[in-house]
């Protein structure tokens, strides 16, 4: 779908997000509306099987983010990293470059500066793909609020603390 003129807002669905938004009708509606809902939690896979749903396996946010980074090289897609501390974001950029030498990171912005400032930076960068790691629900709210003005962005994905993992600060949660 990448080449089509469609904007993709990837939403991660894990038990924590389900519980947090159980009573939040607006957020539930937004999450349910998205075409790409990633089953990021074994509890989600279990619930789907119980309800005879179609979900077969868990996809973690980090796996998907890395896959997108890998694929982006084929298209020379422009990537923007937003979130985490300055140190973590620098380290993440280095690690991604090591893994994917042809990756094109056009901009980055730590998650502790003024949001409007970050929005401007993202817009100016002309990025095709933006990863937003501000923690939940802050990152989803940021994306929902700014989605319309980011109309040229092809993929916007909330990534939680994934940059902390890529940079080596944290260990990834075991994949069960
Ligand atoms: N974070 C940020 N700005 C904030 C709050 C958090 O950039 O105002 C970053 C934080 O540095 C971390 C990430 O958001 O890299 C995820 O935070 P947390 O673990 O609290 O969220 P979760 O992954 O549990 O949703």
Q: What does pTM read for this prediction?
A: 0.88
DSSP three-state, residue 35: coil
CB atoms within 10 A of CB 87: 11
Which residue is listed with tokens 């730590």? 110
Which residue is listed with tokens 């996809």? 59
- Written as six digits, the tokens of 105 are 């990171």
Instruction: Indicate if ligand 1 lies below 6 Å from the C-beta of 158.
Output: no
Cα–Cα distance measured from residue 60 to residue 157, given in angstroms and rounded to the nearest whole number: 12
CA of 132 to the centre of ligand 1 (A): 10
Cα–Cα distance measured from residue 114 to residue 48, given in angstroms and rounded to the nearest whole number: 39
CB atoms within 10 A of CB 1: 9
pLDDT per residue rounded down to tens, the chain (176 residues) = 455 677 888 888 888 888 888 888 888 888 888 888 888 878 888 888 888 888 888 888 899 999 999 999 999 999 999 999 999 999 999 999 999 999 999 999 999 999 999 999 999 999 999 999 999 889 999 998 998 889 889 999 999 999 999 998 777 766 66
Instruction: Indicate if ligand 1 lies below 6 Å from the C-beta of 160.
Output: yes
CA of 71 to the centre of ligand 1 (A): 25
């Amino acid at each position: 779908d990448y080449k089509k003129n469609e904007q993709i807002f990837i939403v991660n669905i894990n038990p924590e997000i389900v519980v947090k938004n159980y009573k939040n009708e607006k957020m539930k509606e937004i999450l349910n509306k998205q075409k790409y809902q990633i089953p990021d939690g074994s509890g989600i896979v279990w619930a789907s099987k119980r309800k005879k749903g179609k979900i077969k396996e868990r996809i973690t946010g980090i796996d998907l983010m890395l896959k997108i980074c890998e694929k982006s090289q084929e298209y020379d897609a422009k990537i923007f990293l937003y979130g985490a501390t300055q140190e973590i974001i620098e380290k993440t950029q280095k690690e991604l470059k090591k893994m994917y030498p042809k990756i094109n990171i056009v901009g980055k912005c730590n998650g502790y500066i003024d949001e409007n400032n970050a929005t401007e930076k993202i817009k100016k960068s002309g990025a095709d793909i933006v990863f937003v790691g501000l923690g939940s629900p802050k990152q989803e709210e940021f994306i929902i609020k700014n989605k319309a003005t980011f109309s040229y962005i092809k993929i916007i994905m909330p990534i939680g603390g994934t940059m902390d993992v890529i940079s080596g600060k944290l260990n990834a949660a075991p994949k069960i």
